[in-house]
Each structure stands twice: as structure tokens, then as C-alpha cells.
Structure 1
């Protein structure tokens, strides 16, 4: 079998693809991952930035629509319900995006630790907010619930959209001949 010379328009050779740390001692990359190709960090950060921008647009629209609708439906308590709902949706959805953006260039163990910690913290904070608000009567509960649900479910849909539209490679070519 003859060896083929690579053309300029072909995919980069494995040596040109960024890889996890080398063989140097003290590397924080586990032994089994050394030499494996990786997705450049800026690619992941671009997806998370797109998701964050989409969340900001969603919550801005929810604020612009929720406050007047809250006023029409329930007056002052409706406005407070919409405002609180947007704040809770921001805390609930924003922490996930922030933690992924923050750890996009970190190793997988750090990413999982930060994401899990952020998830636990927001669950505790969410429960505290609900317990504190349970006895309050200055806001409209139904409007609060609807705004939170639209914000959180909408954010999940937009996250899925951002990931599907992001230009993150699914595979890294290992061999040109394949």
C-alpha cells in the first residue's frame, strides 16, 4: 500500500489538533486523557455566551410583558409577582449558564463540582425564597408562578437551541485515511 500525501484542503492531521496535556509530570490531566484531542475552550464559551444572551432577551421580554399584564390582572400585587418571577427565573437559570461559562476552560472534575455546587445552592435559595414568600401577600402568586415557569422552561428551550446552533465539533478526526 502506498502512502498518500495529504492535500491542503483536507482536515488537519492529528498532530495539529489541540490535545490534553503531554507526558510531563505533575500535569492535572488524568493519564488516560493525555494525548486525546479536545475541543478548543473558546468554542464552548461561544455556545454559553449565546445561551446567556438568549436568557437576557427572554427575561427582558418577560419583564416588559409581565409587568403590564400583572398590573392589568391584579394591580400592584401583579406587578410584584411579575418582578419576583423574573428575579427567581434569572437566579434559577442564570446560575447554570454562569457556572458552565466559568468552567468551560476547566477540567471536567472542576466543571462538575461547580455545576453541582451551583445547582445545590440555587435549590436551597429557591426553597428559602418560597418559604419566605409563602406568608407574604404583597404579590400575586399565580402571576409569580406563571412568570417563573415561562422563564425557566423558556431558558431550558433556549439553552437547547444555543447548543444545537453552536458550532461545536462532535468528533475530532484521528486519521486522514479513514
Structure 2
């Protein structure tokens, strides 16, 4: 009797969720561009250069936080097929969440009293980025076509 050949794991072939997260990152980039342009123009009209800089800083923070989530999941998915995938997955994703929270706190405390920041403009751009990224996540996941059983190899394949 012949021994079965080991099938390629999803780590080697690429997870079926990878295209979804790549689309989320692309749409998130377009969202960030729109927030930077709209927030920058509005911030400039409200508070000249100070408002423009605040909008760009708020947009950069939104990009950073949105990108870290999707990137951490893409990195964690590379360990699929290993014995400790679930533990590694949650460690990577929760680690990224803790890093995001720490970066947010550091940035808020560093930037809150800066004379070159308009806190209202920066706050509104951050909120627009967070809400926009949630909308992007929902739309991309809802419109993606994924099978119920992913990365399955049928007998005879």
C-alpha cells in the first residue's frame, strides 16, 4: 500500500481569505486618500495650515490602525496548517491590537497639547477613518465569494 502524499497546507498555497484582506487593504487605502483630501481641504478652510496638518495626522493614524488589523490577520494566516495555528493566530491578532492601543495612547498624549494641531479636525479625521474602515470591512466581506469549506482537497485531486 502506498503512503499518501502530504497535501500542501493553506500556508503554502495561500489562504482563501487572503484576497479578502488584500481587497480590504486596497479599499482602505482609497478611503484614506479620500479622508486626506476632504479632511485636508476642510481643515485648511477651518484653520489654515494647522487644520491641514491635523487632518493629515488624523488620516495617518487611521491608516496605521486600519492597516495593522488586516496585516496582522494576513501574517497570522501564514501559520495555518501548523499544530498551534489557533494559539498563534490569536497571539498575533491580540498582540497587534495591544500595539495599536499603545500607539494610540502615546500619540494622543504626545499630540494633545501641540500648538500645530487642531484637535477637533484631527479627531474628526480619526473618527472618519475608523467608521470608514468598518464600512469597508463589512462591504468587502459581504460581497466576497468564499466557499463554506475553504482550502479543501477532495479525494482524487
Unaligned runs of 5+ in 1: 1-17, 21-39, 174-178
For 1:1-178, list aligned pairs within 5 A: 41-106=14-79, 107-171=85-149
Q: Tell me how far apart the structure 2 counterparts of residues 163 and 100 of structure 1 sit (CA, whole Å).
A: 14
Is the CA contact 1:76–1:139 (under 8 Å) kept in the aligned structure 2?
Answer: no
Is the CA contact 1:55–1:155 (under 8 Å) kept in the aligned structure 2?
Answer: yes
The Cα shift of 1:74 comes to 0.9
Q: Tell me how far apart the structure 2 counterparts of residues 51 and 122 of structure 1 sit (CA, whole Å).
A: 18
SS at match of 2:17: helix
Q: Tell me how far apart the structure 1 counterparts of residues 47 and 148 of structure 2 sit (CA, whole Å).
A: 49
The 4+ residue runs of structure 1 with deviation greater than 4 A are none
Q: Give the greater-gyration-radius structure (CA).
A: 1
SS at match of 2:16: helix
Is the CA contact 1:79–1:139 (under 8 Å) kept in the aligned structure 2?
Answer: no
* Cα distance change on mapping 1:87 and 1:118 into 2, 3 Å: same
If the length of structure 2 is used for normalisation, what is the TM-score? 0.80
The Cα shift of 1:19 comes to 9.1
Q: Tell me how far apart the structure 2 counterparts of residues 108 and 19 of structure 1 sit (CA, whole Å).
A: 19
Q: Tell me how far apart the structure 1 counterparts of residues 140 and 89 of structure 2 sit (CA, whole Å).
A: 19
Q: Tell me how far apart the structure 1 counterparts of residues 128 and 95 of structure 2 sit (CA, whole Å).
A: 24
More helix per residue: 2
If the length of structure 1 is used for normalisation, what is the TM-score? 0.72
RMSD of aligned alpha carbons: 2.6
The Cα shift of 1:108 comes to 2.4
